[in-house]
Amino acid sequence: MDHKILRATRELVEEVGYQALTVDQVAARAGVGKAAIYRRYASKAEMAFAATAHGQWPPPLADTGSLHGDLLALVRTFHVPMAAPAARHLVPALISELAGNPELDARFQDTFLAAEQTGFAEIIERAVSRGDLPGPVDPATAHLLLLGPLATALYIHNVPVDDAMLADLATAAAAGITALADQRHSDHGRPR
């Protein structure tokens, strides 16, 4: 049933756009009752985001042996669902909806961003244990350094993002994360 709901949502977001999407439409297309949808998703926004990210959130974390390699693998993985047509329709509208709805924003943070930031914490821990970083940095900041520019390119500048740009984003994020770690842990290994 979940698969039918998420597939119907993806199709409808692409056909009618997020603003015109209704739970009634999704229920009819999926062949389920609205109650089945609301048992799984608290809102249209949560359902739509889950549909665009289905099976891909949080993405698997590759251990490539370096901070840069791990970030490059991660940004490539995130790029796939973020660049999908349904996401290109959904994300700008979702951002607007989150800004005006603190409860929805909190659910989004808890459901999706927390899982992403946990992945970043794992990447940072590996980098510290390998000696790529002198100490940890805030996973939320690392998340912003890598995915903020990708989201800006896709949803604000509306430019195509190729593998060369993804490599540049990973390089810039690795440099930023390294600089933050160096600054934070430069006093003989003691956090400042």
Token match 């994360």: residue? 177
**What is the DSSP code string of 34-64?**
HHHHHHH-SSHHHHHHHHHHTTTSSPP----
Q: Which of 133, 142, 138 is closest to 74 using CA atoms?
A: 142
What does the angle CA 106 – CA 108 – CA 111 come to, to the nearest 5 degrees?
105
pLDDT of residue 187: 65
| Lowest pLDDT segment from 70-74, 86-90, 148-152, 174-178 | 86-90
Structural tokens at position 24: 């009634």
Distances 167 to 64, 91, 144, 186 between C-alpha atoms, Å: 14, 23, 16, 28
Going along the chain from its start, the domains and CATH numbers come out as: 1-49 (1.10.10.60), 56-184 (1.10.357.10)
Spatial distance between the Cα atoms of 74 and 83, rounded to a whole number of angstroms:
14
pTM of the entire predicted model: 0.81
Each residue of 29-75: pLDDT tens digit? 999 999 999 999 888 888 888 887 655 556 678 899 999 999 999 99
Token match 């390119």: residue? 153
SS3 per residue for 2-40:
HHHHHHHHHHHHHHHCCCCCCHHHHHHHHCCCHHHHHHH
